[in-house]
Amino acid sequence: MTLFTALLLDALLGEPRWLWDRAPHPAVLMGRAVGWCDRRFNRPPARAMGVLCVAGLVIGAGLLGLFIAALPGGALWSTLIAAVLLAQRSLADHVGRVASALGRSLSEGRNAVAQIVGRDTAAMDGAAVARAAIESAAENLGDGVVAPAFWFAVAGLPGILIYKIVNTADSMVGYRTPRHEAFGWAAARLDDVLNWIPARLTAGLIAVANLRADAWRVILRDAGLHRSPNAGWPEAAMAVCLDVSLSGPRAYDGRMQDFPWVFPEGRRDPGAAEIRAAVTALWRTWALLAALVALTMAW
């Protein structure tokens, strides 16, 4: 019942400020490790150096997980660390804050959504703010909750630590920029591999938990339109459940990019109410995941 307990602890406690104001969060430590690799080894041949760094990070995370799990009380430590590395409560809270801010004013909505997305927000209208928040909810449900839970179920503490260090590396260096396109290649590709099953599992959980089994027609049709091989799956499922078109044109670094719409037949004018509906969908999906974990453990 270790994973089930971790899911409950994360849902109940989230990210307690009193703790992380006094001690570095494991994700922060992972970020420091990735940043050190970037500063120290991002040089020609950059792709080969990136492969070696990712291999070293993966091996280090796996060995650390094995060591902690083997300690006296290893099951307890594994549960607590897994709870810290899951992100259901913090995700729901962050997305919910965008709904509250957008309900007050457009400028507050833009400021709030800027905390959870990487696109330009200064010129967003209310619908764009809502779409960005909903897309972030769907994508991060996959890589912040379902994927860590999946890899913990598969390989215990080493599994979730390996997944999180790769996901952290991808979020920091896995971009097609002059500095990181070669060095971050290995992190980006391995993150795609590790998220392949969880992304599709997330789409199924969203559809079933929100009573939209018919969503698979749209998911199979539109998931591949997304620039990511994985993010389109939960986004397409969430779009159907909320009857909202997602993705579409948006700006990065001052340049508008014409991405295709996911579920184009949905509404294109979502607002705070749809963001709140997305938060409800997150919790319904979490409840289904927790129930499946409990049933599996009991069996």
Nearest to 238, CA basis, from 180, 281, 196:
281
Q: What mean pLDDT, rounded, does the chain reach?
A: 94
pLDDT in tens, 239-251: 999 999 998 888 7
Q: Is the pLDDT higher at 209 or at 22?
A: 209
pLDDT at 254: 73
CA–CA dist 232, 222 (Å, integer): 7
Lowest mean pLDDT among 55-64, 127-136, 159-168, 253-262: 253-262
pLDDT in tens, 202-228: 999 999 999 998 899 999 999 998 888
Retrieve residue 194's tokens: 């590790």
Residue 106: enclosing H or E segment and its boundaries?
A: helix 106-113
Domains held by the chain: number = 1
Q: Please state whether the predicted TM-score (pTM) of the whole model is above 0.85.
A: yes
Residue in the block written with tokens 């044109």: 249
CA–CA dist 69, 63 (Å, integer): 10
pLDDT at 263: 95
Residue type present at position 26: P
Residue positions counted in the chain: 299
Cβ(157)–Cβ(82) under 8 Å?
yes
Cβ(236)–Cβ(260) under 8 Å?
no
Compute, in degrees rounded to 10, the torsion defined by CA atoms 121, 127, 129, 130: -160
CA 48 to each of CA 20, 158, 186, 252: distance values in angstroms, whole numbers, following the listed order: 35, 25, 9, 28
- 50-67 burial: b if 16+ Cβ within 10 Å, else e: bbebbeebbeebbebbee
Nearest to 87, CA basis, from 176, 197, 171, 188:
171
Residue 247: enclosing H or E segment and its boundaries?
A: strand 246-247
pLDDT at 253 over 80: no
232 by DSSP, 3-state: which? helix
DSSP assignment, residue 146? I
Domain that holds residue 50: 2-298
Q: What is the DSSP string of 38-57?
A: HHHH-SSSHHHHHHHHHHHH
